[in-house]
Structure 1
Amino acid sequence: MHWNHIVSKIQEISALISIFGNVSLIILIVTKSPRQLGSYKYLMIYISIFEILFSLIDVIIKPIIFSHGSTFICVSTNFALRKDIGIYLLSMFGGFFGSFMGLFALQFMYRYLVACESKTLKTFNDSRIILWMFLPLIFGLLYGLVVLFLFPPNATINHNIKSKMKEEYNWDIDEIAYIGPNLYQFSENGEFQMNFKSLIGILIVWTLVTISFVTVSIFAIKCYSKMHSQMDGSRTLNHLQHQLFYALLSQTLIPFILMHLPVSIIFFATLSNFDLGNSSSIAAISMAMFPALDPLPVILIIKNNRNAVADIVTTSTLTITRRKRIAKNSS
């Protein structure tokens, strides 16, 4: 229970930082963005909104991830929620996870189109940008449906994890909302069986992850090569495009380290029938931290945003110092 309390507090603090950071970033994008940013600012705002919503869902359901043998589950520890509502919210949580994979792939595609001045870029400058924005939603919808229909609570999971959950958290698995795959199970005759429903779900999830990873890798390499060739060909570099590219790289590394890597380790542990126990909830902490940290590269790397923040900090510091001096003199 002490561990659960720590995870819950980190989730709450991360949600507050995420909302503050992403709202601040949206304000900076709207008020301080240079004209050269073009329609990319809409994609950046789009991602910030997703991250705010992700943080809100995270702090509402307060998920704990628990791995035991060939089973891992994501539990909603907000027991004030009805069980069926908790399961739907957990599915939405998974859907947002999938949407982020599509969002980062879309960003790298856009950066490459800008670097090579492709004619396709025109489709981002009018109402057709809405069609592009639907791609991450498709990723998220598929991911959420997989979680809802292929990783639902079932009697096998309840049987396999009931005593361990009671031992670790003193929770009754039959009364809490959770989702998760169970790859291996035993029949009534004691024969070992593969749970193909969970296996299909994991294969679909890994297909989405692979598509995102391959897309990001290909367009990141192409974009870097294009910018590098422009650097060799002339010294008139577009510094903003370089700033955006490196900010995007940082924004991609953060979810890879804090989201994809921990979840992948848990998936492999499940496939290997390796028991991680409640230590697997480190993934719940890292996922909560992701939207809190993700706005920082855009704020710190892009010069306009960095200067705006520096001006605000300087002005605030001078104002506080002036008020202290006036208060001291008056006393």
Structure 2
Amino acid sequence: MYINLAQFLIPKISSICSFLINPFTVYIVWNDKKLQLGNYRYLLLYFAIFNMCTSLMDMLVPMCVFNYRYAFSVFISDGFFEQFSEFNQILIAFRCSFISGAYAVLHAHFLYRFFVLFNNQFLTRYFMPYGILTAILYCYFHIIYWTIYCYYYCGGDYSRRLYIRDSMFEHHGKDVINMTIIIVQYFVRSNFLKDFRIFTFKEGTPEAMYKSRFGIICLSVLSFISLALIFYFGYKIWYRLSKQSSDMSEKTKKLQTQLVKALIVQAAIPTCVSFAPCILSWYQPIFALNFGRWLQFAAGIAVSTFPALDPLALIYFVPTLRNRFIDTIMVFKFSKKYHTSTSRISAVPSTA
């Protein structure tokens, strides 16, 4: 299904950029001798792999948001999994779970920085392999949690599909019965005024409504807890770094400050491009608000940009990595020019 040019191109361009930037960032971090990041490199590798997995899902399962009256929906807009099947329904729920998975990975980073400042010996002793394995399992928990609630409680059953069927066909020319879609319907009764009389009619089933409400509440609880944990550990880390009584050297303290700044921006990126669009899309139908189709298009596009933007924050806020990044690009650029010039010289025929 073709939505618009931005919906078609931006997720694909973001995914390609993610597959280029994330491995390049890992290469720079892993081969840098000045920073001496130690075991933190494994977390950065873990984050890069997660970002690339997210980008892969963006390419395989491109999503678009559609709201109608008291219902929120997200559907697969393109590709091999667009048509309805139970497997495809699980797949779109799995894709949505990566939004929460990003916060799970960020929690691991914040917790690592917290232990560096408050209990470095514990971190040194247990991080490898127990810490990194715990971080991976914690991410799995977020992904499984979201997949279950999206599939079982927010799945597009027949009554919910009928509710948005006419509107979906009007806007996108597709029959929602045959689409891979997640639908949350908050109310099944609607009122309208005719001849100065209020008429009430029923759309959907109470079971679908209660399942939708329960599912979105459970997803919201985990989302807000995830955000609260980031604020809590971010505050504790920043307060510790701002204390003059810290026993770290100035060089170490400066590096930790740079890394925390990068981490805060890395946390802000999914909050702005994933969490905020989700919350607006989820709760807009409850109050029957209509912000226009642009917000629904923007929500699907914004989520796809996170994996490409995330590693750039680390490169920007750590000068050593930023300089190494620029140097590597310049070396590649001049090396390419040198090989081109050499090829031209060798192509000139000899006059001897």
Structure 1 window deviating more from structure 2 (121-130 vs 291-300): it is: 121-130
Unaligned runs of 5+ in 1: none
Deviation, 1:232, is 7.5
Task: Tell me which of 105, 124, 132 is aligned to 2:135.
Answer: 132
1:296 is aligned with what amino acid?
L
Q: Is the 8 A contact 1:95 1:141 kept in 2?
A: yes
What is the aligned partner in structure 2 of residue 252 from structure 1? 267
Runs ≥4 residues deviating over 6 A: 231-235, 327-330
Aligned to 1:181, the other structure's residue is in SS state strand
What is the aligned partner in structure 1 of residue 322 from structure 2? 306
Deviation, 1:119, is 4.3
What is the aligned partner in structure 1 of residue 196 from structure 2? none
Count of aligned pairs: 330
Q: 1:33 to 1:61 in 2, by over 3 A?
A: farther
What is the aligned partner in structure 2 of residue 268 from structure 1? 283
Deviation, 1:323, is 4.8
Q: Is the 8 A contact 2:90 2:147 kept in 1?
A: no
CA distance in 2, matches of 1:182, 1:235: 56
Task: Tell me which of 171, 175, 196 is aligned to 1:172.
Answer: 175
Q: Is the 8 A contact 1:75 1:176 kept in 2?
A: yes
Aligned to 2:74, the other structure's residue is in SS state strand
Q: Is the 8 A contact 1:231 1:237 kept in 2?
A: no
Q: Is the 8 A contact 1:52 1:291 kept in 2?
A: yes
Considering only aligned residues, what root-mean-square deviation do their CA atoms show, in Å?
Answer: 2.5
CA distance in 1, matches of 2:30, 2:247: 33
CA distance in 2, matches of 1:19, 1:126: 26
2:102 is aligned with what amino acid?
F
CA distance in 2, matches of 1:316, 1:101: 34
TM-score by length of 2: 0.85
Q: Deviations over 1:228-257 (max 9, x none)?
A: 104778872412212211110111111111
What is the aligned partner in structure 2 of residue 163 from structure 1? 166
CA distance in 2, matches of 1:36, 1:303: 14
CA distance in 2, matches of 1:111, 1:145: 31
Pairs within 5 Å for 1:76-87:
76-78=76-78, 80-81=80-81, 82-84=83-85, 85-87=87-89
| 1:28 maps onto 2:28 in alignment | yes
Aligned to 1:73, the other structure's residue is in SS state strand
CA distance in 1, matches of 2:290, 2:161: 16
What is the aligned partner in structure 1 of residue 332 from structure 2? 316
CA distance in 2, matches of 1:218, 1:33: 32
CA distance in 1, matches of 2:149, 2:306: 23
Q: Is the 8 A contact 1:70 1:182 kept in 2?
A: yes
Pairs within 5 Å for 1:67-216:
67-78=67-78, 80-81=80-81, 82-84=83-85, 85-121=87-123, 122-186=125-189, 190=201, 195-216=209-230
Q: 1:68 to 1:34 in 2, by over 3 A?
A: farther
Structure 1 window deviating more from structure 2 (200-209 vs 84-93): it is: 84-93
Q: Deviations over 1:261-289 (max 9, x none)?
A: 11111112022122456431211100111
Q: Is the 8 A contact 1:68 1:276 kept in 2?
A: no
Aligned to 2:170, the other structure's residue is in SS state helix
What is the aligned partner in structure 1 of residue 238 from structure 2? 224
Q: Is the 8 A contact 1:17 1:292 kept in 2?
A: yes
What is the aligned partner in structure 1 of residue 194 from structure 2? none
Aligned to 2:243, the other structure's residue is in SS state helix
Percent identity between matched residues is 21
Q: 1:234 to 1:292 in 2, by over 3 A?
A: closer
| 1:292 maps onto 2:308 in alignment | yes
CA distance in 2, matches of 1:159, 1:125: 52
CA distance in 1, matches of 2:332, 2:22: 20
2:211 is aligned with what amino acid?
K
Q: 1:320 to 1:177 in 2, by over 3 A?
A: same
TM-score by length of 1: 0.90
Q: 1:234 to 1:60 in 2, by over 3 A?
A: closer
1:98 is aligned with what amino acid?
S
Q: 1:79 to 1:133 in 2, by over 3 A?
A: closer
Q: Is the 8 A contact 1:62 1:78 kept in 2?
A: yes
Unaligned runs of 5+ in 2: 191-199
CA distance in 2, matches of 1:155, 1:325: 65
CA distance in 1, matches of 2:49, 2:246: 38
Aligned to 2:75, the other structure's residue is in SS state strand
